[in-house]
Amino acid sequence: MANDASTVFDLVILGGGSGGYAAALRASQLGLDVALIEKNKLGGTCLHNGCIPTKALLHAGEVADSAREAAQFGVKTSFEGIDIAGVHKYKDEVVAGLYKGLQGLVASRKVTYIEGEGRLSSPTSVDVNGERIQGRHVLLATGSVPKSLPGLQIDGNRILSSDHALVLDRVPESAIILGGGVIGVEFASAWKSFGSEVTVIEGLKHLVPVEDENSSKLLERAFRKRGIKFNLGTFFDKAEYTENGVRVTLADGKTFEAEVLLVAIGRGPVSQGLGYEEQGVAMDRGYVLVDEYMQTNVPTVSAVGDLVPTLQLAHVGFAEGILVAERLAGLKTVPIDYDGVPRVTYCHPEVASVGITEAKAKEIYGADKVIAAKFNLAGNGKSKILKTAGEIKLVQVKDGAVVGIHMVGDRMGEQVGEAQLIYNWEALPAEVAQLIHAHPTQNEALGEAHLALAGKPLHNHD
C-alpha cells in the first residue's frame, strides 16, 4: 500500500453522508485540511435513498389526494391516476439538483474528495483505491442500510426494502408493510395516496411506538379513516411467495396476503469488514461506541451518524459532524441533548415532537409532578381551512418548564422549529403564552396550547 507521508490531513472522513459531509464542510471552514472518502454518492442515504426522495413521494401523494378531494373546496378536478414514471422523474430531479449543489459546496470549501471504498487501516489512516490516506484524526461516518429479520430474504422482487420501494416501477395494488415506525408509516401513507391497499404489521402495541401514546392513537385514528389497515401487538413469524404475491404469517397464526411486502423494521450500521474492530474501536451489535463528544475509545478516531447508537436522523448526523469538527478545531463544544432534537414523521397526517413523552416525564419526575394539556386543531382556523384534524399536546413539570411537545396534523412538521426553542430554552407556559402568534396560522395552535397550560385558554373547547 502506497504511503505518501508528505500529505497528512488534519481530518480524514470515511463516509460522505449527512454526518460526514457536515463535518467536512465545518472543519474546512475552520481551517482544517480535510479528506472526504465516499464509495457511492456524496450525500449518502438521506439525499439519495431516504429523507429527500421519500418526502418527494409523499408530496406527490398529497397532490393526488388534493386532486381526488378538490370538490370539497368547490374546485372541479378529475383524477386520472398515477404516472409512476413521472413521479420518479420529479423525485429524481429534486435529488439531482440537491446533489449538484452539494458537490459544488464541497468543492468550494477545498475539501479533498475521494471516490472509493475505504477501510480503516490504522488509528490515523484509511486505505482507499490502493492508497493510504493519512490523518491526524479519523472520523467514521459509514451510515446504515435497511435491516431484515432471520429467515426473511429481501429479494427486491416481491419482498422489498425501502431502497427497492423508492425505485419501484409500478404502484402495487396491495402491500403489506412490516414495521409501523417512521419508514413504515411514511410508505403506507404514500402508497395509499397512490391507490394501493395497505396493511401495516407492527409487533408493538402502537404505530410510531417511540412517540407519545396520544400521538400514536391519533395517527391510528387518521389511518383508519383513510382506509390504511394495521395489525398491532403481534410479531412476524414468516413470509412466503404465493402464486401472485406474498403471504405473511404472524406469531399467532394470522395471515395476510398482498402483491408485495415492504420490510421497514429499521436500519442497521454499516461497519462490517471496514477494519474498525481490528484497530481496537469498541463496538456493540455493529454500532461504534462513542462518548458525548462523539469520540471512540481510540483517541484519534471519532464516529457520527447512523453508525453510532443515537437517533437515526439526518439532522442529528449534521449536528454530530459539526460537533466533531469544532472539537478538533479547538472550539468549546457542548454535548447534544438528544431529547431536544426535533422529530418528524412525514405521513398524512404528520407526527412531530420535541422533548420527552408524558410517560417518560412521569417516570423521571413522578406522576404527581407532571401536567399535560391538549389543544385540538378543530379550534384552529387555518387547520379548519386545510381540513386537517389532530392535536397539540404539551407536557410540563408542575410549576416548571415544558418538557415535551407532541403534535399530530397536516403540516405539523413546520411548527417543530418553535417547539424546539420552547423545549431547549426551558420555557415556562406563561412565557410562551405572552408571545403573539399570527392569525390565522397553524402556528397559533402552539400558542393556544400554552395559553391553556398557563391557565388562560382562549379558543379551547371544554
pLDDT-derived band of residue 2, with 50, 70 and 90 as boundaries?
A: very low
* CA 271 to each of CA 137, 145, 456: distance values in angstroms, whole numbers, following the listed order: 18, 10, 53
For 32-53, the DSSP string reads --EEEEESS-TTHHHHHHSHHH
Q: At what angle do helices 182-194 and 51-68 cross, to 10 degrees?
A: 40
At which residue does the C-alpha cell 389543544 appear?
375
Q: Which residue has the cell 414495521?
A: 179
Q: Note whether 266 and 181 are within 8 A (CB).
A: yes
Task: Quickly state the pLDDT bin for 462 (edges 50, 70, 90).
Answer: low
Amino acid at 104: G
Residue 87 has pLDDT above 50, yes or no: yes
User: What stretches of 123-181 show up as alpha helix (H) in DSSP?
Assistant: 162-165
Outline where 50-83 has alpha helix (H).
51-68
Residues 6+ apart with CB under 8 A from 431: none
Q: Which of 4, 325, 275, 7 is nearest to 126 (CA)?
A: 275
Indicate whether 427 pLDDT > 80: yes
Instruction: State the residue for C-alpha cell 457520527.
Output: 304
In angstroms, how far is the first alpha carbon of the chain from the final one? 73
CA dist., res. 113 & res. 426, Å (int): 41
The answer to whether 459 is a known catalytic residue is no
For residue 457, what pLDDT band results from cuts at 50, 70 and 90?
A: confident
Nearest in space to 54 (alpha carbons), one of 145, 142, 160, 185: 185
The stretch 379-403 carries a mean pLDDT of 96
C-alpha–C-alpha distance, residues 222 and 349, integer Å: 7
CA 134 to chain centre: 33
DSSP letter (8 states) at residue 277: G
135 vs 397: CA distance, rounded Å: 47
Strands (E), 154-228: 159-160, 174-178, 197-202
Task: Identify the weakest region by mean pLDDT among 50-59, 111-120, 366-375, 451-460.
Answer: 451-460
Q: Per-residue pLDDT tens for 219-228?
A: 999 999 999 9
Q: Strand 11-14 and strand 138-140: pairing?
A: parallel
pLDDT tops 90 at residue 56: yes
Q: How far is CA 275 from CA 1, 40, 145, in A?
A: 15, 19, 18
Answer yes or no: is pLDDT of 4 > 90. Answer: no
Annotated active-site residue in 48, 439, 450, 461? 439
- Give the list of residues 6+ apart from residue 331 with CB closer than 8 angstroms, or none: 30
In 50-122, the DSSP E strands lie at 112-115, 119-122
Q: What is the average pLDDT across 258-287?
A: 97
Contacts of 83 (CB under 8 A, 6+ apart): none
Residue 109 clears pLDDT 50, i.e. is over it: yes
Residue 5: Cβ within 10 Å count = 7
Q: What was the pLDDT predicted at 440?
A: 96
Q: What is the pLDDT of residue 290?
A: 98
The pLDDT of residue 70 is above 80? yes
Instruction: Give yes or no for a contact between 57 and 190, defined as CB atoms under 8 angstroms apart.
Output: yes
Angle at 414 between CA 306 and CA 336, to 5 degrees: 40
Q: Does the predicted TM-score (pTM) go above 0.85?
A: yes
Q: What is the pLDDT of residue 7?
A: 85
The predicted structure's pLDDT at residue 1: 41
Torsions phi, psi of 420, nearest 5? -65, -40
Specify the pLDDT at position 458.
Answer: 83
- Mean pLDDT throughout 426-438? 95
Mean pLDDT of 54-60: 97
Q: Is the link from the previous residue into 123 a cis peptide, with omega within 30 of 0?
A: no
Under the banding of pLDDT at 50, 70 and 90, the label for residue 256 is very high
Output the pLDDT for position 461: 62
pLDDT at residue 261 tops 80: yes
- pLDDT band of residue 6 (cuts 50, 70, 90) is low
Q: For the chain, give the percent of residues with pLDDT over 90.
A: 96
Count CB atoms within 10 A of the CB of residue 52.
19
Q: Which amino acid is at 75?
A: V
pLDDT in tens, 291-320: 999 999 999 999 999 999 999 999 999 999
Which of 449, 391, 462 shows the shortest CA–CA distance to 221? Answer: 391
